[in-house]
Amino acid sequence: MATEDVDSRFIDLDAWSLASAMEAMWEGQLAAVAAVGRALPAITAATDAAKEALGDRGRLIYVGAGTSGRVAVQDGAELPPTFAWPPERLRFIIAGGESALIASVEGAEDDVADALKQIDDVRLSPHDVVIAVAASGTTPFTVAALQQAGTYGIVTIGVASNPGTALLSSAKYPVLVETGRELIAGSTRMKAGTAQKVVLNLISTGIMLRLGRVFRGMMVNMQTTNTKLKLRAELMVTQIAGCDQSQAAGALEQAGGDIKLATLMVLGYDKAEAEGLLASHKGNLRRVFADLTHGHSE
């Protein structure tokens, strides 16, 4: 497998000047990001399928081992604060469990029985989406978890850096990102890890775009959990509703920090009316405005 092979160009990397080694590693990172471009059609198809499956009740379930598992957790953990993705609609199936996120757990990535148990324990529904990540595409834990998830007939997405591997052949939506040989053979925290992070960024953010959790380039479902984010929320409301910051702050306080709700309240709807509008449009502010504009033009 390319991710495990020694690259003859870097056979004496440890003897190079540090400046030259740094430049080579940087170039490897650029190449990893560029490799994602060739996978965009597959990434887009996977994202669209995930959005359709998830709707307003499905769960995102990330699967991985080692570096891939940590990258997966990093992506998923950002979804609740950034997009108010409900924590109960997010699961992580990691080889070795949570302790493996900060320390290596010996033999965990080979534990097929644990993979099957963790998948069955989450009680998959038809609306769930499983995203499994493994640079090699052969990690026994990750492959077994994805294959078991596939028996439930749900959307499964596999992300790997080697072609023709079990993870890709087992996924309903395979995403191959050929990052090739690492500068340090087998150190997939480098090129492959970078590519994985980019792919997961695209998939998760694309899902949130399609589910209406972004409006005019702003994360309007964001949770206002600190001073910086409260200020950002106020600025969002002022920009969308065309009001001053004090109006925005007051509306946000009444709306419990809900940016979309506060925006509609500034525009003249009482809280119950605004909640009703959002509910009838599944929380999609763009659809709310489109419907209101259409209604006013008739």
Instruction: Enumerate the active-site residues.
Output: 78, 109
The 10 Å CB-count burial string (b at 16+, else e) for 247-272 is bbbbbbebbebbbbbbbbbbbebebe
> What stretch of H or E contains 258?
none
Q: Which residues pair with 132 in a beta bridge?
A: 63, 158
Q: Are 43 and 175 in contact (CB under 8 A)?
A: yes
Q: In 3-state terms, what secondary structure has residue 139?
A: coil
Structure tokens at 277: 């509008």
List residues bridging with 91 in a β-sheet: 61
Contact 249, 234 (CB under 8 A): yes
Burial group, residue 96, by CB count within 10 angstroms (0-12, 13-18, 19+): buried
Work out the end-to-end distance of the chain between its first and last CA atoms, rounded to an integer number of angstroms.
62
Report residue 65 CA to chain centroid gap.
16
Q: Give the helix ranges, DSSP H, for 38-139.
A: 40-54, 66-77, 79-83, 112-121
Query: By C-alpha distance, which of 121, 52, 57, 53 is closest to 85?
Result: 57
